[in-house]
Amino acid sequence: MTDLRFSTMISAMLSIALVAFSFVASLAAQGSDWPQWGRDASRNMVSPDKGVCTDFDAGKFVGTTDEIDAKTTRNVKWIAKLGSQSYGNPTVANGRIYVGTNNDSARDPKYKGDRSVIYCFDTKDGGLIWQLNIPKLGTGKVSDWEYLGICSSPAVEGDRVYVVSNRCEVMCLDVNGMADGNQGYQDEAQYAAGPGNPKIEIGAKDADIIWVTNMTDECGVFPHNITCCSVMIVGDRIWTSTSNGVDYGHVETPAPNAPSLIMLDKKTGKILAEEASGCSQRIFHSNWSSPAYLKTESVELAIFGGPDGCVYAFKPTPKEDEDGFNVLDEAWRFDCNPKEYRVDEQGKPRKYATRKGPSEVLGTPIVHAGKVYAVIGQDPEHGEGIGNLTCIDADGKEVWSYRKINRSMSTMSVVNGLLFAADYSGFIYCLDAQTGKEHWVHDTSGHIWGSTLVADGKLMIGSEDGFLTIIPATKEYSADDVKEIDMTSPIYSSPIVAQGVLYIATHTHLFAIEQSK
Amino acid sequence: MFSTPSASVLFAVLGAAFLPAPRGGMNSGFGFLSACSAQDGAAGTQTKKPAVGWTSWRGPSQDGSSREARLPKSLALETPGSWSIDLAGRGTPTIADGRVYALGYEGSGDALQEVLVCLDETSGKRIWERRFTDFLSDVIYSRYSIGSPTIDPETGNVYVLTTPGLVCCFTRDGEELWQHAMGEEYGRLTFPNGRTGSVLIDGPRAILHVVNSGWGSQGPARDRFFCFDKISGVSLWSSTPGGPPKDNTLGLPVVADVDGRRVLYCGLGCGNVACLDARTGDTLWRVQVSTGGLNSSLLLVPTKVDGEGPGVRDVIAIHGSENLDSSVIGRMSRLRHPSPEALGDATKLPIILDKAAEVWRADLVAFSSSPVLVGQHVFQTTLTGDLHCVDANSGKELWHVKLAADQIHASPVFGDGKLYVPMNDGSFHVLMPDDAGPNVLQKLQLEGNCLGAPAICNGRVYVHTTAKLYSFAGGRGEASAVDHRPDPPSDGVGVRLQVRPADHCARAGETVAYRVVALDAKGRVVDEAVEGAKFSGAPTAGVTWTEDGAMEIAHDATPCAVTMTVEAKGLRASARLRIVPFGAFEDDFENAKLAPGADGVPVGNPRPFWVGAGKKWEIREVAGEKVLAKTLDNPLFQRTQSFVGHPDQSKYSMQVDIMTEGNRRILSTAGVIHQRYQIALKGNHQELEVSSNMERFKKVVPFKMKPGTWYRLLTRVDVAADGSGVIRAKAWPRDEPMPDAWTIEVADPVAHTSGAPGIYGFAPQSRFRVYLDNLKVLPND
């Protein structure tokens, strides 16, 4: 096939749109980093930062291009161009912001076509520091869907970045990229090219891989659609779900004996333990949920939203099974699907992917004040359906549940005794975190893929329609107080705040929002 | 060598080893005809009444608009004359001559069947129905019946494509005239999203858009168009207009006359908009507008007075994937048609257009919802559930309104100043749009989801949901006649030949009469039967030509897949022919010729007459024996079904030896396709499985298997007179005696009565090879 990409337009993009541009001299805000998905292992989507700017204009495109006209923005510190699809939620640590996307707006001409990317930008101006650019698996939609890019949110600790790749790998990267030389893993040139292809020369603005653990080779995982967990760092260990899932036919899991959750040594990538609770024999679709960590005075548990609709709690110390393998010790599991979601009035099993049928745990369960909050949901391709929000105590017992919510992929926020949640149908909920009592519900009219963020007294969330909805994070609600900002492109990730700056990734651009001087 | 007679194609089954069964999974109780059994070009038993109404899902103007007046402003089942029936569906009903045809599905689980219903227009009463049982499809979540029936305006015959790929032609009264099993004959692929598409009827042709992986040059998976004689089902041409598909885009083509040619336009899975000659299948031009597929149907827009000339229309296309020159997803664009003069030089075809062909663009996103053209206004529902009104001349958006949270396949229709807009959430909107806005008249909530487009006929508005088929009365419009465009007679000279059948799957024991037709430069028929046409010899051992020009294929003919050439009057043409076994056969692969492969290890190609096997299987030597191995080179091919026989075969058993490599984490899976059942040893699951659709029909029993050990699998299917059947299989370590008892026995109350033998392999993530050897097809008795 003739490649009809219009080279002149690409050149224009490379020379203009891909250069992040600082728009305004901004007021430096003080605050904290957001170094991993959910900010910390509680995954509670709340930032303590103050002075967050929510009065801004995201600008307009120049004609029918994908370049945003700087003159049409307001209170935008800088904008960095991403690919065409960006599901990887940004994280910020030590003056650098990391975000997953695809290669559709290639920043380096040696990387051509559909690939997956993590960009490391400077938070001062959005300038590129380095990128990890990964070839596709070549399986097609079943295991590495075209153009999905990196959906994992990088976790940063010290001088290391941990991320899950589209190739079903857990990776450890150097925060400095290749600028300080190649450390650890040495075959980046072959990795970038893909197995069997001529090597790609690696430069100073490429990622430095420290180690790679392939979950298919090591555990037999059959990833479904995309591997996308945001890993959790606890001590010397990192935890990740595997994205083990169903086959192309969506009925059967080809790898029923592969684990859905594993724990690795963060220094070496060696797998230390795996879930052996049989999750993979009960997978509805895939396991994409990211783990959280519950720590009280009496217990420490890794919390995992299962692909079968249960929340699992595993003790952090593995035990050896009868075959000599280290397995995670299951402390408890809680079925987030009410019985009537699994069986109908006649006692017959309800089919998955039907409106009234059961769902997996897709959003990340969060931990707050010794309790776990979880929602159930499904791949948006399955449409809307009934959901359930459950509050579970540290012993795995239900505290309360709220069934008015629809299917949800979102991760929640608890602050000041209020729980904020969202569902795929586009509703935002404010509940009493202790009792589950509903304070208010807001309809955004658009599908919601991302998660709530509460910062500086405001709740923020993006929608597929491309709007950022901002609502006072109080139990009182007035439609007059709801604000919608047109972000120019669909939003499939979640806003974060770090060092007082609001970051929002649309499908195509990463915005840094800060009040102008 | 022979001279082709003017005789029509006749397929005779001469003393087949096994009695041929009716084609298809139908259980209608009606008589059956084998594929192509009607006479080529003859009227057969079809009805002669010309059709009026809504004969294809895009309507009489191919653009979603109706010519009827006095249509209802509000829709209600309470309106006298309105009716609804309980029938889940995802397409559009078609209406002609007082009858409504709809493809739906009924039942659940093992009992689920697609059903083509013929209903009385005024009452909704079922006049006749034809049922189809799914087989070997990847369809999930009951995503059945996405395609729509098409009515031939000339004959009233009805055409339908079922989920597993049976393309069928019925008379107005439900008698089947012909059928092709596109999967088994041509390697049509199946997809979990259930998209099937509809048949295009154009003049004497029935044209089908599929994605297939066949044999020879059609081995690589591509969007392909297959054209059959609409009366006989004889293949007229097959065509590959684009490159590797990224999506299964099965949009209905639109047709037009361009400078004496009959051309069709369609979006492809490779992101191209393509224009083909409808009479020959030649690709005339194409332009890539997306990196993904184009599902939506296209619009043809008259050019301005100072445009390229009469008869040439621009094309409006929309997609929801990545663009070539922007990272913003999705685009509607208007594309300038090449001049007729540019199409006149056959040596420069196809013309590859580029960005210069784009007249305008609009940032709209739609994966499969199709636009509607009303004058210079284009109406389009998009991903986020918005309805947009776009000026067809400038691309400027006049307005948009949000009607629902999202939209998937459903499309609006227009009639009598009103726009009827179904949405995915089951809401159905009536609007009276103008330049200023949508002017919503009514929002109606239907039961189920809307995925098809409405239809308009005789003052009624029809819409199908996943729960019901609705017919809303209240209008007083009258259906207009649908144009029938017979091919005009040629006034030129013959410049090319066309062999009929052009692309055929023949079974051993069959007799095929070929006819060679001469066409002029515009593809019009000059000579219906060219005298003195000479074929390039017998394609394989066991094939002879009769004195009257028929090809006789012996029962023991050597299977083959060849492209034959024919010469007459100084012209040459070709025809694709695949001859498959029809009876007992076996293959131990020992006669395969091996040559060093990419890794230096000797490998051989799979049998050329198999469909869907190239690059997916190879022959290797294992422990001194030549065996069939599942390839690992391309993870896209990790899961493969390949057919080695004919879809009419029945009453047979199969035997094959299976061995997988692997470890405690990963083993591979392999087995056979047997009369539309897949019977496999599943390594990772340690099971023996019988299935026909993984969600609908699947039974397993435990079966322990280890890597590196050969197992033998024996299968048998028996179908009783009442249509029920039993699928049996037994497996055991090859070195041990065969057990007496069957390992699994599965009853199927509505069994598949015939189906091609085949093989199946699945190497998860392409990690470990699985091997087959000593493949046998045996008579049951």
Q: Enumerate residues 620 to 639 of chain B having a beta carbon within 8 A of any beta carbon in chain A.
A: 634-636, 638-639
In this predicted model, what pLDDT tens digit does every residue of B233-281 receive, in sequence order?
Answer: 999 999 999 999 999 888 899 999 999 999 999 999 999 999 999 999 9
CA of B701 vs chain A CAs: smallest distance (Å): 15
pLDDT at A497 over 50: yes
Q: Which of A83, A216, A250 sits opposite B767 (nearest CB)?
A: A216
pLDDT at B350 over 50: yes
B612-615 long-range CB contacts below 8 Å, 24 or more apart?
A: B612/B187, B612/B189, B612/B213, B612/B214, B612/B219, B612/B640, B612/B641, B612/B642, B612/B643, B613/B215, B613/B640, B613/B642, B613/B759, B614/B213, B614/B215, B614/B219, B614/B220, B615/B219, B615/B220
pLDDT at B18 over 50: no
In this predicted model, what pLDDT tens digit does every residue of B403-414 receive, in sequence order?
Answer: 999 999 999 999
Instruction: Tell whether B243 is within 8 A of chain A (Cβ).
Output: yes
pLDDT at A303 over 90: yes
> What is the band of A231 on the pLDDT scale with cuts at 50, 70, 90?
very high
DSSP lists the bridge partners of residue A390 as A374, A401
Which pLDDT score is estimated for B304? 62
In this predicted model, what pLDDT tens digit does every residue of B732-742 receive, in sequence order?
Answer: 999 999 999 99
pLDDT at B302 over 90: no
Q: What is the DSSP secondary structure assignment for residue B356, as one 8-state letter?
A: G
Residue A147: its chain B contacts at CB < 8 A?
A: 291-292, 321-322
Contact B752, B758 (CB under 8 A): no
In this predicted model, what pLDDT tens digit does every residue of A339-365 receive, in sequence order?
Answer: 999 999 999 999 999 999 999 999 999
Contact B206, B180 (CB under 8 A): no
Give the whole-angstrom CA distance, residue B181 versus residue B645.
12
Which residue bears the tokens 């695949």?
A: B578
In this predicted model, what pLDDT tens digit does every residue of B47-100 receive, in sequence order?
Answer: 445 568 999 999 999 999 999 999 999 999 999 999 999 999 999 999 999 999
Instruction: Tell whether B328 is within 8 A of chain A (Cβ).
Output: yes
Contact A490, A18 (CB under 8 A): no
Which pLDDT score is estimated for B703? 98
Average pLDDT of the residues in B316-332: 96
pLDDT at B9 over 60: no
Sheet with A300-305, strands from edge to edge, namely A232-234, A237-241, A261-265, A271-274, A326-335, A310-320, A300-305, A292-295
Which pLDDT score is estimated for B12? 33
Average pLDDT of the residues in B301-322: 78
Which pLDDT score is estimated for B51? 66
Strand intervals (E) in A103-226: 115-122, 128-135, 155-157, 160-164, 169-174, 209-214
CA of B188 vs chain A CAs: smallest distance (Å): 16
Instruction: Tell whether A80 is within 8 A of chain B (Cβ).
Output: no
Which pLDDT score is estimated for B599? 83
Q: Enumerate residues 38 to 97 of chain B having a beta carbon within 8 A of any beta carbon in chain A.
A: none
Sheet with B283-288, strands from edge to edge, namely B254-258, B261-267, B272-277, B283-288, B351-353
Q: Enumerate residues 343 to 382 of chain A having a beta carbon within 8 A of any beta carbon in chain B.
A: 351, 353-354, 382
Contact A383 B424 (CB under 8 A): yes
Tell me the two tokens of residue A187.
């075959």
Which pLDDT score is estimated for B483? 76
> What is the band of B10 on the pLDDT scale with cuts at 50, 70, 90?
very low
Tell me the two tokens of residue A19.
């250069």
Instruction: Tell whether B765 is within 8 A of chain A (Cβ).
Output: yes
| CA dist B433 → B385, B438, B455 (Å) | 17, 4, 18
Q: Enumerate residues 472 to 491 of chain B having a beta carbon within 8 A of any beta carbon in chain A.
A: none
| CA dist B494 → A386, B65, B277, B517, B527 (Å) | 65, 38, 16, 9, 8
Question: How many other C-beta atoms are found inside a 10 Å radius of the C-beta of residue B658?
Answer: 27
pLDDT at B441 over 60: yes
Average pLDDT of the residues in B415-431: 97
In this predicted model, what pLDDT tens digit does every residue of B90-141 receive, in sequence order?
Answer: 999 999 999 999 999 999 888 999 999 999 999 999 999 999 999 999 999 9
Contact A100, A150 (CB under 8 A): yes
Chain A: residue nearest B138 by CA? Answer: A249
In this predicted model, what pLDDT tens digit does every residue of A401-444 receive, in sequence order?
Answer: 999 999 999 999 999 999 999 999 999 999 999 999 999 999 99
In this predicted model, what pLDDT tens digit does every residue of A180-206 receive, in sequence order?
Answer: 999 999 999 999 999 999 999 999 999
Contact B636 A256 (CB under 8 A): no
Q: What percent of chain B has pLDDT over 90?
A: 84
> What is the band of A63 on the pLDDT scale with cuts at 50, 70, 90?
confident
Best mutation target, B141, B247, B286, B327, to test chain A (most A CBs within 10 A): B327
Chain A: residue nearest B663 by CA? Answer: A220
Give the whole-angstrom CA distance, residue B767 versus residue B633.
10
CA angle A84, B639, A280 (to 5 degrees): 80
Give the whole-angstrom CA distance, residue B269 versus residue A442.
39
Q: Which of A4, A82, A114 sits opposite B324 (nearest CB)?
A: A4
Q: Enumerate residues 387 to 406 of chain B having a beta carbon within 8 A of any beta carbon in chain A.
A: 402, 405-406
Contact B313, B300 (CB under 8 A): yes
Q: Enumerate residues 394 to 453 of chain A having a beta carbon within 8 A of any beta carbon in chain B.
A: 425-426, 445-447
Contact B589, B627 (CB under 8 A): yes
Residue A508: its chain B contacts at CB < 8 A?
A: 327-328
**Of the candidates B14, B51, B184, which has an alpha carbon nearest to the alpha carbon of residue B643?**
B184
Tell me the two tokens of residue B465.
């949901």
Q: What is the DSSP secondary structure assignment for residue B764, as one 8-state letter?
A: G
CA of B70 vs chain A CAs: smallest distance (Å): 34
pLDDT at B34 over 70: no
DSSP lists the bridge partners of residue B413 as B420
Q: Enumerate residues 331 to 370 of chain B having a beta carbon within 8 A of any beta carbon in chain A.
A: 352, 354-355, 361-363
**Of the candidates B765, B247, B321, B223, which has an alpha carbon nearest to the alpha carbon of residue A148?**
B321
The helix (run of H) or strand (run of E) holding residue B513 is: strand B510-513
Give the whole-angstrom CA distance, residue B728 versus residue B746.
6
Which pLDDT score is estimated for B50? 54
Measured in degrees and rounded to the nearest 5, phi and psi for residue B760 equal -135, 140
Give the whole-angstrom CA distance, residue B168 versus residue B177.
8
Tell me the two tokens of residue B660.
């997988």
ipTM of the complex: 0.90
Average the pLDDT over each of A15-29, A272-286, B305-319, B640-654 and give the range with the smallest value.
A15-29
Which pLDDT score is estimated for B249? 87
Tell me the two tokens of residue B72.
């209802």
The helix (run of H) or strand (run of E) holding residue B586 is: strand B585-587
Average pLDDT of the residues in A374-392: 97
> What is the band of B23 on the pLDDT scale with cuts at 50, 70, 90?
very low
Contact B363 A147 (CB under 8 A): no
Q: Which of B355, B405, B639 sits opposite A445 (nearest CB)?
A: B405
Q: What is the DSSP secondary structure assignment for residue A154, as one 8-state letter?
A: P
Contact A4 B355 (CB under 8 A): yes
pLDDT at A508 over 70: yes
Give the whole-angstrom CA distance, residue A501 versus residue A515.
9
In this predicted model, what pLDDT tens digit does every residue of B268-299 receive, in sequence order?
Answer: 999 999 999 999 999 999 999 999 999 999 99
**Of the candidates A305, A264, A309, which has an alpha carbon nearest to the alpha carbon of residue A288?**
A305
Contact B635 A82 (CB under 8 A): no
pLDDT at A325 over 80: yes
Give the whole-angstrom CA distance, residue B217 versus residue B573.
16
Give the whole-angstrom CA distance, residue B198 versus residue B73.
29
CA of B179 vs chain A CAs: smallest distance (Å): 26
Establish, for the pair of chains A and B, how many residue pairs have beta carbons separated by less than 8 Å.
138
CA of A49 vs chain B CAs: smallest distance (Å): 32
> What's the predicted TM-score (pTM) here?
0.92
Contact A105 B327 (CB under 8 A): yes
Instruction: Tell whether A137 is within 8 A of chain B (Cβ).
Output: yes
Average pLDDT of the residues in A135-144: 95
> What is the band of B310 on the pLDDT scale with cuts at 50, 70, 90?
low
Contact A288, A362 (CB under 8 A): yes
In this predicted model, what pLDDT tens digit does every residue of B610-655 receive, in sequence order?
Answer: 999 999 999 999 999 999 999 999 999 999 999 999 999 999 999 9
In this predicted model, what pLDDT tens digit does every residue of B173-220 receive, in sequence order?
Answer: 999 999 999 999 999 999 998 899 999 999 999 999 999 999 999 999
Contact A425 B405 (CB under 8 A): yes
pLDDT at B417 over 60: yes
Which pLDDT score is estimated for B45? 39
Which residue bears the tokens 């929602």?
A: A375
Chain A: residue nearest B640 by CA? Answer: A248
Residue A256: its chain B contacts at CB < 8 A?
A: 684-685
Question: How many other C-beta atoms are found inside a 10 Å radius of the C-beta of residue B512?
Answer: 21
Contact B361 A64 (CB under 8 A): yes
Give the whole-angstrom CA distance, residue B695 versus residue B682.
16
Residue A464: its chain B contacts at CB < 8 A?
A: 383-384, 406
pLDDT at B306 over 80: no
The larger pLDDT score, comparing residue A391 to residue B195, is at A391
Chain A: residue nearest B694 by CA? Answer: A251
Rg for chain B, CA atoms, rounded: 26
Average the pLDDT over each of A26-35, A465-474, B101-110, B155-164 and give the range with the smallest value.
A26-35
Residue A326, Cβ density class (10 Å: 0-12 exposed, 13-18 middle, ≥19 buried) = middle
Mean pLDDT of chain B: 91
pLDDT at B707 over 90: yes
CA of B698 vs chain A CAs: smallest distance (Å): 10
Give the whole-angstrom CA distance, residue B384 versus residue B382.
6
Longest dimension (CA), chain A: 66
Q: Which of A138, A254, A384 sits opposite B764 (nearest CB)?
A: A254
